[in-house]
Structure 1
Amino acid sequence: MRIYLPGTWPMLQRLVKTGHFDPIGGTAFALTPRLRETYLSGDDEELEYVAMSEAARASLRLLGVEFGLGEDGVPARRVVVSADVDDVTLRPDLDAGAVRISGSVPLEAVASVHVDTAEAEHAVRQAAGAVDAADLGDMDAEFLIGEAEDHELAWYGPSEIAFLVELG
């Protein structure tokens, strides 16, 4: 199953260093039956994009935690790692596309990485600080999330990840 793992720049650096991506709490997103039922229309590609977008929003939550811990040197870029894994558990208690995996994802299972460009950093930093308020219905905070989500994530193949991290 193709899954989308939310991450941060330090998590991407660890992937390059160790050859494994360690998702926080095993949380990932995928085109689940529940996600498919949520939408009246849309082909698999469109619904996969929805799952990836949910992972990108989860990446904002992870960034919000890192910034809250004083990690101001962390690049304000959403990171989503796309991978193909077999051991996936549906999470009906969370978002429609939420799944859980057990353990690390080896680099060999990574299909691609999606990362914000430098131009998105200001909007992403603002959104990371507002994501909790947006989840609680604050419309001003939701506007900030939308500003970040207006930036498309850049696509990188597995062979490009080390160069991406090196160039920062």
Structure 2
Amino acid sequence: MRIYLPGTWPMLRKLVKSGRFEPMGGTGFALTPRLREAYTAGDEEELEYAAMNEAARASLRLLAVEFGLGEDSTPARRVVVAADMDDVTLRPDLDDAAVRISGPVPMDRIASIHVDSEEAEHAVREAASVVDKADLGDLDAEFLVGEAEDQELAWYAPAEISFLVDLGDL
């Protein structure tokens, strides 16, 4: 099953060093039966995109925590790691697309990496500061989160991850 794991730039750095991606709490997002039921229309690719967008919003939440802990040097870029995994547990108690995996994801299971461009950093930083308020229905916060979500994530192959991290750390 293709899963989408939210991450941050420091998590990508760890991936480059260790060769394994360690998702926070093992939480990811995928095209689950409940996600499929939640949409009245949409092909497989559109529903996979919806799952990836859920992971991108979860990345905002991770960034909010890092910024809240004073990690202001962390690049304000959403990170989503797409991986193909066999051992996936559905988590309908969390969200229609939520899944859990056990343990880290080895590099050979990673299909692609999706990351915001440098131009998106201002919108992402603003969105990370209000994502919880947006989840609770604050219209101003939803607008700011929408500004970040309007930014398309760039696609990178697994072989490009170390170059991406090196360039981003300059």
**TM-score, normalisation: structure 1:** 1.00
Distance in structure 1 (CA, Å) of the matches to 2:94 and 2:29: 10
Corresponding letter in the other structure for 1:96:
D
Q: CA deviation at 1:44?
A: 0.5
Alignment-derived partner of residue 38 in structure 1: 38
Percent of residue pairs bearing the same amino acid type? 77
- Partner of residue 2, structure 2: 2
Distance 1:13 1:29 in 2: 22
Separation in 2 of the partners of 1:42 and 1:136?
A: 27
Amino acid at match of 1:166: D
Superposition CA RMSD, Å: 0.3
Shift of 1:131: 0.2
Secondary structure of 1:155's counterpart equals: strand
Map Cα deviations across residues 48-90 of structure 1 (whole Å, 9 max, x no partner).
Answer: 0000000000000000000000000000000000000000000
Separation in structure 1 between the aligned mates of residue 107 and residue 126 of structure 2, nearest angstrom: 31
Q: Which residue of 1 aligns with 2:117?
A: 117
Question: Could you tell me how far apart the structure 2 residues matched to 1:52 and 1:92 are?
Answer: 17
Q: Matches of 1:147 and 1:139 in 2, distance apart?
A: 12
State how far apart, in whole Å, the 2-side matches of 1:89 and 1:73 are: 34
CA distance in 2, matches of 1:24, 1:11: 9
> Map of 1:13-162 to 2, 5 A cutoff?
13-162=13-162
1:164 is aligned with what amino acid?
Answer: L
- Give the partner amino acid of 2:55: A
Q: Report the secondary structure of 1:99's partner residue.
A: strand
Unaligned 5+ residue runs, structure 2?
none
Secondary structure of the equivalent of 1:66?
A: helix
Aligned-partner Cα distance in 2 for 1:92–1:150? 27
- 1:95 shift after superposition: 1.1
Q: CA deviation at 1:40?
A: 0.3
String of CA shifts for 1:129-166, please: whole Å, max 9, x gaps: 00000011100000000000110000000110110000
Mark the runs of 5 or more structure 1 residues left unpaired by the alignment: none
CA distance in 2, matches of 1:95, 1:155: 25
Q: Compute the TM-score of the two structures, normalised by the length of structure 2.
A: 0.98
Count of aligned pairs between the two proteins: 168
What is the DSSP-based 3-state SS (H/G/I as helix, E as strand, rest coil) of the residue aligned with 1:83? strand
- 1:2-49 per-residue CA deviation (whole Å, 9 max, x = no partner) reads 000000000001000000000000000000000000000101000000
- Runs in 1 of length 4+ with deviation above 4 angstroms? none
1: CA distance, partners of 2:42 / 2:147:
24
Alpha-carbon distance in 2 for matches of 1:124, 1:6: 14
Q: Which amino acid aligns with 1:146?
A: G
